[in-house]
Amino acid sequence: MSQAVHVAVTLGLSDLLADGPRSLAELAEASGADGPSLSRLMRALTEVGLYVSAGDGTYANTELGDAFRAAAPHSVAGWARYVGRPWHWQAYAALEHSIRTGEDAFSTVHGQSLWDYLSDHPDAQRDFDDAMSALSRAVAEEVVEAYDFGRFATVVDVGGGRGMLLAAVLKRYPSVDGVLFDQPDVVAGAHPVLSAAGVSQRCRVVGGSFFESIPEGADAYLLKFVIHDWPDAESVAILRTCRRSMPAHGRLLLVEQLLDESPDPMRTVFSDLTMLVMAGGQERTTEQYRSLLAAAGFDLVRTVPSGTSVSIIEAAPAQEYA
């Protein structure tokens, strides 16, 4: 099913149906697909609810199918395109290796880590960044409503990709300034996102590695879907970089799924397997995050549910919060 949806996004079928129903022949011509084979794909995707078939032989988007348009408000097209790529698919096919050894399957299949592979393959990096933007888009509104970012003067989004979540924070809280931090080739794609949200003038974009140093002196450091990518040792190293950079009154905010508090356990446990396969990371419980944070010099203050699959984990420099 995931491959069928992936192919639909790659062909742009939901985009082709954005303005209304179209015939199979029109879809085949516009997407460059074989008509009879496309008919079989559309039949399958109609059964799973992406499209609806009218009696006159045309197809139209359903509400679900509309979410796979590239320009949909909560588009998940980037994620569907990413998970169906052969380099991702092949790694997941080696799940057994990860279960037997505890190693990430990606490195075994491709001979290098996910991060090195993305660095060496710009098209894969672009797909990955699109997928991360889709994940951010899916939770951003709920996160900014669930947590009061307005208490901070400056928020640094560490590993923030193209800035989808930070843009939502700055748009919701006009008194807050932002710093978007990620690898230089990743943040290079941030300008359209920040401009579209009307927050470019309040957001500085900085490239670098969070294993080395990050912008210093902000009130809050935000990391969404960063720590779950990494094993414990690397996670602690990233958190220690944050600790060195923040003042005594600062706050660390991790946006992650929690195994023991997830409102969508199915999503979270399979995300945990994905972390294992792709990068050797893991989803964690609240107590596991408490231990990681303590090892990096933080105390866990509280967890804040967002109404989605993620929570906001708030931490403060150890022994320095009321």
* Residue 121 known to be catalytic: no
**Cα distances (Å, whole numbers) of residue 138 to 72, 157, 313:** 11, 17, 18
Contact 225, 135 (CB under 8 A): yes
Contact 174, 203 (CB under 8 A): no
The CA-CA-CA angle for residues 183, 186, 188, to 5°, reads 110
Q: What is the DSSP letter of 57?
A: S
Q: Name residues whose C-beta falls within 8 Å of residue 140's C-beta, 6 or more positions apart in sequence.
A: 164, 165, 167, 168
Buried b or exposed e, range 131-158, using 16+ CB within 10 angstroms = bbbbbbbbbbbbbbebbebeebebbbbb
Kindly name the residue from 6, 88, 97, 228 that is annotated as catalytic. 228
The CA-CA-CA angle for residues 290, 218, 205, to 5°, reads 110
Return the active site residues. Answer: 228
